[in-house]
Amino acid sequence: MDITFLGTGSGVPSKLRNVSSLVLEMHQERDEVWLFDCGEATQHQILNTPIKPRKINKIFITHIHGDHIFGLPGLLSSRSFQEGTSTLEIYGPKGVKEFIETALSVSQTHLRYTIKYFEVTDGVLFEDEQIKVTAMSLVHGVPSYGFLIEESDQIGPLLPTKLKEKGVQPGPIFQEIKNNEVMTLDDGTEIVREEVTGPDILGRKIAILGDTLPFDDVIEFVRDADLLVHEATFTHEDTKLAQQYNHSTSVQAAKIAKEANVKQLLLNHVSSRYQQDHLQQELEHLKEIIKHVTYVKDFDSYEVLKEGR
């Protein structure tokens, strides 16, 4: 799992930060690419990365403010011209479907693929054997959501020495043993999977939040996340301004991550009012709250690791 940030600014684009968008790539896990938010010029940002729009199969929209959705019509149109023919799923609050279909209709844009729309509400959006995605309402003046992506635990590795003790030789039978809790061999030997495998490999947990004021309930939502993406539109000295505009400060985000036992905090949606040296000073203060915290920049990429892997 890898996360690449395409836009890390807030409100309007700047020379250093485009507006909101990030990509979660899961090529090895399930050969899928998911896009979270799609601010203006997202498709231009993609041109600076190896990401292929035709590979994007799910788009999640946190809320319908322009800096999070104005890039959708252009990206969807270009996907048709870049060999994108597979079905695309779009998850977002009420209004996303109307916005997209109006823009495509007025511009007479005809897509070569089908879009399936899913209106986001609190709770599980979908779940399969590998992964579960849950949504939670945030506090931003308009419907805004956070998304929790939880990877299922995997069966631990087979232990060759344990199998050898039971007379099992390497071969296709190894996979059969791993696929069955209990298996009886031709000679009558019973193989109990948990006796011949190591500890389960714990799934990774990622939380990606839309714009929000800080509030207590979000702590349980992101609890024990391996990686949390949280907005930090304002720095600590502008707390009153953050409250006025329904946003969070970097310190508020850090305190939430600390209380929730988050392993790594990535701060984005940063106001262009702050220069890099100012953010560096703020970061030193944040590290006193939580050790693993970073202000992300456009095109930064992070591998999502399970603690201890």
Q: Is 67 a catalytic residue?
A: yes
Secondary structure (DSSP) of 234-252: B-GGGHHHHHHTT--BHHH
To the question of whether residue 44 is assigned a binding role by annotation, the answer is no
Q: How far apart are CA 123 and CA 184, in angstroms?
A: 41
Q: How far apart are CA 40 and CA 18, in angstroms?
A: 8
To the question of whether residue 63 is assigned a binding role by annotation, the answer is yes
Q: How far apart are CA 277 and CA 295, in angstroms?
A: 12
To the question of whether residue 67 is assigned a binding role by annotation, the answer is yes
To the question of whether residue 31 is assigned a binding role by annotation, the answer is no
| 252 burial type by CB count under 10 A (0-12 exposed, 13-18 middle, 19+ buried) | buried
Q: How far apart are CA 262 and CA 205, in angstroms?
A: 10
To the question of whether residue 27 is assigned a binding role by annotation, the answer is no
Closest CA to 90 of 70, 62, 112: 62
Q: How far apart are CA 289 and CA 254, in angstroms?
A: 6
Annotated catalytic residue, options 37, 67, 226, 298: 67
Q: How far apart are CA 230 and CA 304, in angstroms?
A: 15
To the question of whether residue 247 is assigned a binding role by annotation, the answer is no
To the question of whether residue 269 is assigned a binding role by annotation, the answer is yes
Closest CA to 77 of 38, 31, 48: 38
Q: How far apart are CA 136 and CA 132, in angstroms?
A: 13
For 35, the 3-state DSSP assignment is strand
Q: Residues 113, 88: contact at Cβ < 8 Å? A: yes
Binding residues for Zn(2+): 63, 65, 67-68, 140, 211, 269
Q: Which residues are catalytic?
A: 67
Binding-site residues from annotation: 63, 65, 67-68, 140, 211, 269
